[in-house]
Amino acid sequence: MGISDAIHQACGVCVLFLCGVFVFFPGGVVLTAWNEHRSVCRVWAIESAEKEVNILDCGQHTTAVPGTLGFLACPVDQSTFTNYTYSNSFAGITNLKDVFGVGGAGQAAAALTMTVQQWQCKETCVEEQCRRRLGEQSTKEPADKARSLLNKHEALGEDVKARNLKSKGKSCTNVCVRYSHEKILSAETPTTSFQRPGEAITACGAGATTLRAPSVQGHDLHAPGGQIATANGHAWTMNENQVQLLPINVPVPLTPRAAVGSFTDSPSASQLTEKNTYVIGNTIHTCQSPGMGCYEISFTKSVPTRMAMLGAVSTVPGEMAPLGWNGDGFWLCKGSSTNNINRFCPSHSSIDTNKGVLPSCGEDVTQVTQMFTALKNASWYAQWGYRIGGFVMLFMAFSCCFLPLKACLGFITDMIDDGTECIPCVGSCVDCLTDIFMKIVSAILGVVSFCCACGTFLIVCAFMWMVLKPWYGIPMMIGACCFCGGAGGLLYYFRGGKGDGSEALSEEEMSDYEQDN
């Protein structure tokens, strides 16, 4: 190993050591502590909510006390949906009078979405080559040079390490040398910048490099809060936040319409009319063939038949509070957002850093236990996801902290190898033994890092859980002590040199010798 390589390796070890001490270790401790605090508070909030929840009556809201936690599961009166037509829905279809029904009839829905897809060209890299950063054509050259140099040294009878020669050609970068192009139907903004524009035009058509974003934009429409009501006397209604959570996944049937006799394709049409569109199935088309820029427009709607709500009763009669219910919380969790209980079904999935990933739910939720089960599962998965992240950071921290020790031992073994490589047969044997030694060192340091990470992780977890549930925290603390003791024991046992064990043995032998005499 040359001086420059040694300096480069030493700098890398120092950087990783500093990252372990000042980035990974504090990051792992903070993430673990935050997650355990979040988990403790969330468990307390859910268990408290299970004790305080009130089952509400679908037929009336007069007995519901504002601010209390309530659960409601009722059928929906679909006559309270908004009737969407060509004139009160999307700006792009105002000229398509019969799109939702003959005579301007509409589609009743709690929410409606228009999806505009456009035929466009996609470029994909299918072959890459690794090239030298200094401009050489291929990275095969350094490898070939290393191989020929190795053969040359072997012919001279010299014991040369292949790993040192193979490390000469690492400075390269991947470069794409071949692309494929295909026509796709996508709702994304079209790309007109290609690495191979000529190939894109050949494969996709002349308009591949000149496409513009559709002038007709798709988006969502939702009924206002307080409109969609329960079937039993309209006693309860969805608030604005709940309407936004509704899944919009039911295809909207459109009125079939054939293309007019003088129809011509209208790629990237600036507006939709009955002359430049036709309808097949549930889709509006602007072209009879899939050419660049042609639109295909479809609609989906939300038409729930049941709804279930868990949250705080609002001061607005017949609604739940948009922000949910916040319990008093454990003393350790005062003011924490983990105390919030707010769930609505049917809804699409949502992500909350404090509550976890709440999966989508359907109209089959009729019991409050189903709601609480979903909340517990989301918190459990979040808890273990954050735990894995925190443990990995702690393991990386201790691994980086032991890198200087490993690097010093590696430097010593390299010096031994360099000093014996000129001796026939001996050099190969020494090289093999030093490689085995470094693998053992790596394994020992890996086990020690794992034990230290486990100990630190369990100590942080134990402090949090001992406050709320000591029967969880005490075993964690015992496990932490075991892992820390194991790590210390391994380091002490493999410390090297003459230890107390050998000295004790010598004293025992001396005593036996004196007794014999």
Same domain flag for 437 and 497? yes
Same domain flag for 97 and 221? yes
- Cβ–Cβ < 8 Å for 441, 411: no
Same domain flag for 93 and 236? yes
Same domain flag for 22 and 90? no
Do the domain assignments include residue 363? Answer: no
Do the domain assignments include residue 339? Answer: no
Cα distances (angstroms) measured from residue 305 to each of 75, 81, 110, 246, 345: 6, 11, 11, 12, 11
Domains contained in the chain, number = 2
pLDDT classification of 485: cutoffs 50, 70, 90: confident
Residue at token pair 């890198």: 403
Do the domain assignments include residue 361? Answer: no
Per residue, what are the HEC states of 443-469? Answer: HHHHHHHHHHHHHHHHHHHHHHHHHHC
Report helix, strand or coil for 82.
Answer: strand
356-358 and 350-352 as β-strands: parallel, antiparallel, unpaired? antiparallel
Cα distances (angstroms) measured from residue 58 to each of 51, 62, 99, 223: 21, 11, 36, 21
pLDDT classification of 502: cutoffs 50, 70, 90: very low
**pLDDT, tens digit, for every residue of 408-445?**
888 888 888 888 888 888 888 888 988 898 999 899 89
pLDDT classification of 69: cutoffs 50, 70, 90: very high
**Which pTM value belongs to this model?**
0.76
- Cβ–Cβ < 8 Å for 10, 386: no
Report helix, strand or coil for 53.
Answer: coil
Do the domain assignments include residue 342? Answer: no
Report helix, strand or coil for 132.
Answer: strand
Same domain flag for 432 and 298? no
The predicted pLDDT at position 246 comes to: 96
Provide the token pair at 404. 């200087």
Q: Of 217, 210, 177, which is closest to residue 192 (Cα–Cα)?
A: 210
The predicted pLDDT at position 468 comes to: 63
**pLDDT, tens digit, for every residue of 292-334?**
999 999 999 999 999 999 999 999 999 999 999 998 777 778 8
Same domain flag for 87 and 208? yes
Domain boundary residue, one of 283, 304, 325: 304
The predicted pLDDT at position 150 comes to: 45
User: Does the pLDDT of residue 398 top 60, yes or no?
Assistant: yes
Domain boundary residue, one of 288, 304, 320: 304
**pLDDT, tens digit, for every residue of 127-163?**
998 876 544 444 444 445 444 544 544 444 444 433 3
The predicted pLDDT at position 239 comes to: 96
Residue type at 499 in one-letter notation? G
CA–CA separation, 46 and 371 (whole Å): 10
CA–CA separation, 339 and 469 (whole Å): 18
Do the domain assignments include residue 231? Answer: yes
The predicted pLDDT at position 148 comes to: 53
Same domain flag for 211 and 88? yes
pLDDT classification of 503: cutoffs 50, 70, 90: very low
CA–CA separation, 293 and 287 (whole Å): 9
Query: What's the N-to-C CA distance of the chain in angstroms?
Result: 57
Same domain flag for 253 and 116? yes
Do the domain assignments include residue 54? Answer: no
Per residue, what are the HEC states of 303-344? Answer: CCCEEEEEEEECCCCCCECCCCEECCCCHHHCCCHHHEECEE
Same domain flag for 128 and 34? no
The predicted pLDDT at position 243 comes to: 96
The predicted pLDDT at position 312 comes to: 96
Average pLDDT (348-370) is 93
Domain boundary residue, one of 269, 304, 339: 304
107-109 and 111-132 as β-strands: parallel, antiparallel, unpaired? unpaired
Same domain flag for 10 and 84? no
Same domain flag for 98 and 30? no
pLDDT classification of 458: cutoffs 50, 70, 90: confident
Average pLDDT (353-367) is 93
Same domain flag for 483 and 408? yes
Do the domain assignments include residue 409? Answer: yes
Q: Which domain holds residue 435?
A: 3-40+383-510
The predicted pLDDT at position 366 comes to: 94
For the chain, give the percent of residues with pLDDT over 70.
Answer: 84
Average model confidence (pLDDT) for the chain? 84
Residue at token pair 């820029």: 293
Do the domain assignments include residue 314? Answer: no
